[in-house]
Amino acid sequence: GSGVVGQTLGGGLRQLGHTVAIGSRTGRPVENWDGAVGTFSDVAAASDTLVLAVKGGVAEELVASISAELAGKTVLDTTNPIADLPPVDGVLRYFTTFEESLMERLQAAAPQAHFVKAFSSVGNARMVNPVYEAGMPSMFIAGNDSDAKAEAAAITRSLGWDVEDMGTAVAARAIEPLCMLWCIPGLRGGSWTHAFKLLKD
């Protein structure tokens, strides 16, 4: 995706030495991005690893349209199923239920791809090399393929996060709602720079 999340993660990965291209429907130059661009299909076909950073409401249709290009590849899924409805007292509204996550729908739309939920529970301002006095924050991931999760975990750690593996794609049913919780301080009080940390004995 060519929005701020895609550009933030793309820029962070490029600083680490990765070759990064940003995809869009048109493949045209992207404002504020001076790197390679292409259509979603072209970028997916040419890439080894993908970051899906598009609006949740269009993600399933997009993934289905490039399913062949995603086959066999790790896809870091940053999307959340945010409905086109106003929040209620700072709580976002989703178009999914607790019985099915958006990532599970995406996995069904491209069954040969290896989706890993990641970067869905923090805002773009702190996605790359977040710094907190309390220490390194936690990024919760989930997916069905162990090799893809290992790759996603390595990428996530390289961007400055502790990684907490929550299991298979079913765990995305719990991870995606963290975005609702994360957004409450922002929507109610204007605070958008926090992150979650899992504390252990």
Per-residue pLDDT of the chain (201 residues; tens, 9 = 90+): 889 999 999 999 999 999 999 999 999 999 999 999 999 999 999 999 999 999 999 999 999 999 999 999 999 999 999 999 999 999 999 999 999 999 999 999 999 999 999 999 999 999 999 999 999 999 999 999 999 999 999 999 999 999 999 999 999 999 999 999 999 999 999 999 999 999 998
* pLDDT of amino acid 104: 98
Say how far apart CA 97 and CA 126 lie, in whole Å.
28
Its pTM stands at: 0.95
pLDDT given at position 2: 85
Q: What is the pLDDT of residue 155?
A: 98
Nearest to 122 by CA among 137, 132, 134, 133: 137
Beta-bridged to residue 142, according to DSSP, are 117
3-state helix, strand, coil in the chain (%, to 5): 40, 20, 45
How wide is the angle at C-alpha 85 spanned by C-alphas 109 and 111, nearest 5°? 5
